[in-house]
Structure 1
Amino acid sequence: MGRVRKTLTRPAVIAVLVVAIGGMGFGLYWFQPWKLWQDETVDEALPGVVEASVPAAAARPSEPSEPASGPAKPSDPAEQPAVAAPQTLAGGELISHEHATSGTVKLVRLADGSHVLRLESLDTSNGPDLRVWLTDAHVTKGKAGWRVFDDGKHVSLGRLKGNKGSQNYLLPKDVDPSSYNSVSIWCDRFDVSFGAAELTRV
């Protein structure tokens, strides 16, 4: 027992133990394996439905006014609010790359002219440093996700909010959505796609 204690207290052995423990800690931080068993669910509604009231005078010619005490008029469809709905420009189905991935993606133009990328019913693995990318690459089934989408033109829309659910990602104003063909759930730490979808124009 004394010999073992003496061996463990030698400077070289202590240095090796420190390096081993440090390396183990760095490996856990870098790979974050516990995330494979931790799901983050995000459910967001599609933004951007704007109501604009149509003035009655513009909708129909003026009519004689009724006394305030007169019977109430039934609502006129011309006076109902007009709803400016978001418009889907492109969409596609997510396929699996490095991890099993499913769900749909939509490229949507909102009433104010801005664009959002919407992930619906997303189901993929959690992982370190996951991002949502728009890319100019084409998606091929059965092809590995390593170093595919970072070879060409791509733009990051930010960190993945959750590995499950429906969520929205606003495109920067200087990004032309027509310049991109696909969407990738991209692990920036290991340069690999968890899953991707080809964008088909509507």
Structure 2
Amino acid sequence: MSRRIYLPLVLVLVVVAGAGLALFQPWKAFSDTTVNESLPSASAPMKDGPQGKGNAGMKGEEMKGEESSSEAGMQPKDLAEGRFVSHEHDTTGNARTVRLADGGQVLRLEHLKTSEGPDVRVYLSARSADGAESGLGDGAVELGKLKGNLGNQNYAVPAGTNLSKFRSVVIWCERFSVSFGAADLTPMKR
């Protein structure tokens, strides 16, 4: 083979190999990212004390009474929960939606175990976990990139999101449009 053909051919192969590595990120098949976050606890908003600087102007006993009255009945509340089922990759663990003391909502993934992948994200879907295997469906809400493929993690649910409209949580690979796994969200009994 002459040099005129060999050099361009090698350059093309290098570019194709580089693009393939960037697209598929095969090293992620051999790595894990563990995340262990605790459930967020929202603190009660500070009220203006006598000097107008939060609780700074309150005395010890006044503070104690203020804290206990503002914290009373303000515990996180589970709204729905479910177990992951596998789709394109083995996926196990639990998902639950939680209303925080300040009224915010989070999706919590617990004991998650799935695969690493390129551009993996967490979604709420109106489809069931089984239905999400073929796609997210209309109105799916992205909660962010998957923080890690192992462990416990929290995702803020956008303000104003009506969680009762969503039937499942989906671990979704954007790059290849596939579900790694999903969990049906069953409302908690009151």
TM-score, structure 1 length as denominator? 0.76
Q: Counterpart in 1 of 2:173?
A: 187
The answer on 1:154 being equivalent to 2:140 is: yes
The answer on 1:111 being equivalent to 2:104 is: no
Deviation at 1:82, TM superposition (A): 2.9
Alignment RMSD, CA only? 2.4
Aligned-partner Cα distance in 1 for 2:22–2:160? 35
Deviation at 1:174, TM superposition (A): 3.3
- Structure 2 gaps, min length 5: 46-67
Match of 1:24 among 17, 31, 49: 17
Task: Report 1:10-89 matches (<5 A).
Answer: 11-48=4-41, 50=43, 82=72, 84-89=74-79
Deviation at 1:86, TM superposition (A): 0.4
Note if contact 2:113-2:149 (Cα within 8 Å) is conserved in structure 1: yes
Note if contact 1:116-1:169 (Cα within 8 Å) is conserved in structure 2: yes
Aligned-partner Cα distance in 2 for 1:155–1:85? 26
Task: Report 1:163-174 matches (<5 A).
Answer: 163-174=149-160
Aligned-partner Cα distance in 2 for 1:101–1:144? 14
- Structure 1 gaps, min length 5: 1-6, 53-78
Identical positions, percent: 45
Aligned-partner Cα distance in 2 for 1:144–1:150? 5
The answer on 1:135 being equivalent to 2:125 is: yes
The answer on 1:198 being equivalent to 2:188 is: no
Note if contact 1:51-1:83 (Cα within 8 Å) is conserved in structure 2: no
The alignment of Structure 1 onto Structure 2 pairs a total of residues equal to 168
Aligned-partner Cα distance in 1 for 2:142–2:2? 49
In structure 2, relative to structure 1, the CA distance for the partners of 1:47 and 1:94 (3 Å cut) is: same
In structure 2, relative to structure 1, the CA distance for the partners of 1:93 and 1:158 (3 Å cut) is: same
Deviation at 1:138, TM superposition (A): 1.0
In structure 2, relative to structure 1, the CA distance for the partners of 1:85 and 1:139 (3 Å cut) is: same
Larger Rg: 1
